[in-house]
Amino acid sequence: MCGIVGYVGSRAAVPVLIEGLSKLEYRGYDSAGIVVWEDNQLKLEKKLGRLSVLQEALQGTELNARCGIGHTRWATHGRPSDINAHPHTDCTGRFAVVHNGIIENYLELKEWLEAKGHRFKSETDTEVLPHLVEHYYRGDLKEALQKVVERLEGSYAIVVICRDEPGRLVAARQDSPLVVGLGEGENFLASDIPALLKHTRRTLIIDDGEIVDLTAENVAVSNGTGKPVKKEVFEVTWEESQAEKGGYAHFMLKEIYEQPRALRDTLSGRITPENHRVILKELNIDTHLVKKINRVFIVACGTAYHAGLVGKQVIESLVRVPVEADIASEFRYRGPLVGPDSLVVVVSQSGETADTLAALREAKRLGARVIAVTNVVGSSISREADDVIYTWAGPEIAVASTKAYTTQLICMYLLGLWLAQQRGTLPQNEIREILVELRELSAKAETILDNNSAIEEISRQYKDKENAFFIGRGLDYVVAEEGALKLKEISYIHAEAYPAGELKHGTLALIVKDVPVIALATQKALFEKMVSNIKEVNAREASIIALAMEGNTEIEKVADHTIYIPATHPMLAPVLTVIPLQLLAYHVSVARGCDVDKPRNLAKSVTVE
């Protein structure tokens, strides 16, 4: 995820900015840049690659500037490059801006600005910001920014510097973190607390809709209408390593908690405001080919493969076309029946997984159209695919994949609905119903996270088990696969998932007293059948944790513990159902003293076959 730092004071700004950015490196980035005010000019340097590349470019430059802003970029709109790196400037070089988040209506704004004669250099959404500031500026930077944010849709933390107002930074926030660090005769801005800790522990946490006006001596916060807001000072007591994790004990937990934001971002700009249609501007597939596709293959590894299993059921049901989900390491060795009328969807968080990349190449060799679903702009998979749908989850650091999975699911729904739209396989009212529910998932995910302590309590009771079974039917079964993977990879408990109806064909022999069985029963049409399957394991005195949608209290009669998820469209339930399973695995792993973020024998990105 992108990182922001800002400084105004009496020290040399460049080293302060670079040091602040280095504290945000752990978040992942592809390019970095700074701009400082010096000798009545804005001096800017930005570079693709690590911070050290930027530092090298800055070698030999005077370090007299006392005010500036810096940024590390994680690409969303536009590939990683020098030009797309932040800061971005207006036509005159009078304003420079750094930005975290996504400006959803940037295309509309860009067209409007271009019509007024503004010239754009980059492919980013961010570049509309300095041009908007240029348009609205009448001698007061704060007033200009206030007008700019009124035009924006989406999420942002923005910091602006102006050549004509030395020693002043102005910033705004909506759905993307922004903090002020309070110093003596100096003040700081940052997207995250670790960037501030070397200098101060006294902070102001900026809220949505607020604007900050920062000089070395003064910090003024106001709301959108310009009315002053009184902020409480928040004294940071976290250690540096804890601060990197936003105060969470592990990256995995932080990433689980980031899911509501990640779901929202991944949907952003991809559904019309009235929920009528899916917009996937990134797909350049000819309508004739869309109609001609006679088979879809979803190819991936591990958690991404599990997202593909959900995708298979979703796309088959929405588009009525046969879909195969394939494990990438098997795909190219089984002689898949792929041809020019096939659509191959490769799914990969990192975009670098060797087996998935090899499957992509094989699919292209066989003449298929290849769409990548990935989290990393500029990754090998994104470059080699014909089209890319990005999951805007932000960097995932924990080895165990969480927010990447739920955002991959969002892409599966969007792709399925888009194909259904293009091929006319689903009535408009049904598309709308699903789109309305999709938008509500983020808030519903928050509700599940609010139940974390109850899930932690349940988890503690299972910490000494050596085997666990996950059962479900339909979409619940494929989510059970992901639940089992999460538990085994971070707690080292042997965990397997089974279709619930399959138990009595063998596995029931292993179900004995106190064996944990996690039973997923969120699918309305299969609920009664699932209750019967739970009764089968209940009769063997297994210890049952059931997951059901709110309102289905009947399940409590057959389960030892029940976790409810908010009611949603059954097709979308996987996004919610998996969250308690992630938390369950996390808490069991912590209770067993395992290395949650770096489980033994595993790597985040598997770049060898």
Measured in degrees and rounded to the nearest 5, phi and psi for residue 551 equal: 100, -25
Note whether 268 binds ligand M6R by CB under 6 A.
no
What amino acid occupies position 95?
A: F
Member of 302, 394, 483, 580 binding ligand M6R (CB under 6 A): 302
> For the window 139-158, what string marks contact with ligand M6R as x by the rule CB under 6 A?
--------------------
Sign of the CA dihedral 480, 481, 485, 491? positive
Which residues, 6 or more positions from 350, have their beta carbon under 8 angstroms from its beta carbon? 374, 375, 376, 379, 604, 605
Residue 382 binding ligand M6R, by CB under 6 A:
no
Convert residues 485-524 into a mask of x (bound to ligand M6R by CB under 6 A) and - (unbound). Answer: x---x-----------------------------------
Q: Identify the three-state secondary structure at position 368.
A: coil
Active site (annotated) includes residue 529: no
**By CB under 6 A, residue 606 contacts ligand M6R:** yes
Catalytic position from the list 2, 67, 162, 411: 2
Give the span between the Cα atoms of 159 and 163, in whole angstroms: 14
Kindly tell me which residue out of 158, 278, 296, 304 binds ligand M6R, with binding defined by CB under 6 A.
Answer: 304
Q: What ranges make up the beta strands (E) of 50-182?
A: 67-73, 88-89, 95-103, 154-162, 169-174, 179-182
Segment near ligand M6R (CB under 6 A), from 2-10, 35-43, 53-61, 344-352? Answer: 344-352
CA–CA dist 314, 158 (Å, integer) = 38
Binding mask 387-426 for ligand M6R (x = CB under 6 A): ------------xxx-------------------------
Contact call for residues 398 and 251 (beta carbons, < 8 A) = yes
Min separation Cβ 204 and ligand M6R, Å = 37
Q: Which residues pair with 371 in a beta bridge?
A: 345, 387
Instruction: Give the nearest distance from C-beta 263 to ligand M6R in angstroms.
Output: 17
For residue 401, the minimal CB distance to ligand M6R (Å) is: 4
Q: Give the residue nearest to ligand M6R (CB).
A: 302
Q: Is 91 a catalytic residue?
A: no
463, 488, 529, 604: the catalytic one is 604
Q: Is 223 in the site for ligand M6R (CB under 6 A)?
A: no
Order across the sheet with 88-89: list the strands: 88-89, 95-103, 154-162, 169-174, 211-214, 219-222
What x-and-dash track marks residues 35-74 binding ligand M6R by CB under 6 A? ----------------------------------------
Q: Are strands 88-89 and 31-38 parallel, antiparallel or unpaired?
A: unpaired
The DSSP secondary structure of 463-478, one letter per residue, reads: TT-SEEEEEESTHHHH
- Closest separation in Å from C-beta 393 to ligand M6R: 11
Which residues are marked as active site? Answer: 2, 604
Binding site for ligand M6R (CB under 6 A): 301-304, 348-350, 353, 356, 399-401, 485, 489, 605-606
